[in-house]
Structure 1
């Protein structure tokens, strides 16, 4: 098997195994690291943890840009290209950036709304769902920052976002424990109403992303994130209905715990990258 390091001339298609690459945060780090690499074309397979790069010159030059990211990148193979590979799907970076800004604004606004409503309604479910909105906003904001300023700024932003999410998730779990111990009376109708508003917001996000979901892995992942958020919103609404039907607080405490744990796990993944 030939490698780009042994045969530096011409164009090559190199395949890299990247064990720690499984979400858009890692993809954005890699895109930023390889920005400026002459003639590079990137194809990401997040589920398979692989990256294919069409490039000029030695594969070692690509690997040297990937290794500082500490994602465990390894060169699997590198083959000479006798003709260009299939054209990548056309994307409109400016349009994608506009969509990401809209997603950031929607999620940031709903974070504030749900957090305030959750406190007023004594609902840990709403408060935890607000953290989920914040987590998504952090992902979109970090992606936009990477486009504007590069990998170093993205790593710093991701670190701040990760620690912020972790702190808020832990506070949410403490709040769940406090309300479980001292008791709470969640306002079920407010839970369902704000949960429905959050559902509408996430459906709007899905509609915004839909036209770009095939344009790149990061947009596909954003679509998946919003789809998962819809499930969380439905969980809050169902919990509110159960609170209304039973008069008990445990459905709210349960959904609050589940969402907070999900956000905490996401924060750990972000911090692991930095």
Structure 2
């Protein structure tokens, strides 16, 4: 990179549209986390609980993105690295939870799953469309887009799981979707980690970081 891209004196300007979009996404995800967590507990749905944890992780990710917006690239890439690691860890947690639930034997309530899944889908599609214009930005911006895109795909899977539970009368569709959501989280997290490491490798630390 050129010298003009490095150092504290050349911090990137923060697009006010980007900051506004992040605030909206943060509020939407925080509200959906609380609502879906309670619904997942009531419906005994692992897929809803996994999706609620994903909403929580995204809320934290948006808050981190707001905190580092306008900082030097090294700090934005570092924040993206933390987000990638968190997303990967969340995926592993969901897989372990699904394996444990497979031996539980209880069946979730498809009506609650479907209704909440559709509400979550509407929320995530709205956020994804709002953030679509920023998908080609730096790692921090792209990581937010990846999370939003994955969430919308996951919500479609939750609705499909609700139909599967209703049709089969078993918990397997719910558990399978939870595993799929976990793999989406892991693959998305790994992609963010690779992008962040690439930027950190090629971007010198700003002067104040060495003091």
Q: Structure 1 length normalisation: TM-score? A: 0.57
Deviation of 1:225 (Å):
5.0
3-state SS of paired residue (1:267) = helix
Asked whether the 8 Å contact 2:95–2:179 carries over to 1, the reply is yes
**What is the CA deviation profile of residues 229-272 of structure 1, one whole-angstrom value per residue up to 9, with x for unaligned ones?**
32221110111011112101110010000101221233344455
Please say if 1:169 is aligned against 2:88. no
User: Which of 193, 204, 213 is equivalent to 2:126?
Assistant: 204
User: Which of 130, 138, 147 is equivalent to 2:52?
Assistant: 130
Deviation of 1:115 (Å):
2.8
Q: How far, CA to CA, are the matches of 2:68 and 2:28 in structure 1?
A: 20
Structure 2 residue aligned with 1:113:
35
**Structure 2 CA distance for partners of 1:177 and 1:94, relative to 1, 3 Å:** same
Q: How far, CA to CA, are the matches of 2:168 and 2:176 in structure 1?
A: 14
Gap runs ≥5 in structure 1 = 1-13, 16-31, 41-90
**What is the CA deviation profile of residues 48-70 of structure 1, one whole-angstrom value per residue up to 9, with x for unaligned ones?**
xxxxxxxxxxxxxxxxxxxxxxx
**Higher relative contact order (CA closer than 8 Å, sequence separation 6+):** 2
User: Which of 257, 262, 267 is equivalent to 2:179?
Assistant: 257
**Greater per-residue helix proportion:** 2
Q: How far, CA to CA, are the matches of 1:170 and 1:220 in structure 2?
A: 22
Q: How far, CA to CA, are the matches of 2:23 and 2:17 in structure 1?
A: 10
**Structure 2 CA distance for partners of 1:153 and 1:193, relative to 1, 3 Å:** same
Gap runs ≥5 in structure 2 = 198-211
Q: How far, CA to CA, are the matches of 1:37 and 1:144 in structure 2?
A: 18
Asked whether the 8 Å contact 1:131–1:260 carries over to 2, the reply is no
Structure 2 residue aligned with 1:217:
136
Instruction: Give the length in aligned residue pairs.
Output: 191
Q: Structure 2 length normalisation: TM-score? A: 0.71
Q: How far, CA to CA, are the matches of 1:33 and 1:92 in structure 2?
A: 16
**Structure 2 CA distance for partners of 1:233 and 1:165, relative to 1, 3 Å:** same
The two structures, once aligned, show a CA RMSD in angstroms of: 3.4
